[in-house]
Amino acid sequence: MSTKTILITDDEPHMRRLIAFSLKRTGHTLLQAESGEDALDRIGRETVDLLLIDYGLNGINGMDTINTMRQLESGSTIPVILLTALGDTGIRDDAQNAGVNAFMTKPFSPVELTQLVEELLAS
């Protein structure tokens, strides 16, 4: 298995740490961003193989970040997992329209998250 780079984007430091801890055993490189702007900057500078992003970011929200990323050459094909504490079907519809590959509602199972990450990186 080759090492991939995963960008974890959440404005809550404890969530970034929890997600990183959950994915540590995968052996992939884990990057962290605290805002949509920070995530877009990292995607423009570094190779990112998967984006894990929270919907409810401060400033530019997760959906706006994804839509902007899709317009970048470096971000047009990056698989995305959208995380949210909201179970709103409108958010799910918007996520599908933006090309989000998977949607997880918080709280989520670390085991399920890890399995989903591995599935997306393998495809």
Question: In this structure, are residues 83 and 44 in contact, taking their beta carbons and an 8 Å threshold?
Answer: no
Looking at residue 31, its pLDDT comes to 98
What domain range is 72 assigned to? Answer: 5-122
Question: In this structure, are residues 23 and 120 in contact, taking their beta carbons and an 8 Å threshold?
Answer: no
Buried b / exposed e over 17-43, threshold 16 CB at 10 Å, is ebbeebbeebebebbbbbbbebbbebb
Looking at residue 89, its pLDDT comes to 72
Helix (H, G, I), strand (E, B) or coil at 33: strand
Looking at residue 1, its pLDDT comes to 58
Residue with tokens 């599935």: 119
Per run of 10 residues, the mean pLDDT along the chain (length 123 residues) is 92 96 96 98 96 95 95 94 82 85 92 97 92
Query: How many structural domains is the chain composed of?
Result: 1
Looking at residue 85, its pLDDT comes to 84
Phi, psi of 100, deg, nearest 5: -70, 130
CATH number at residue 110: 3.40.50.2300
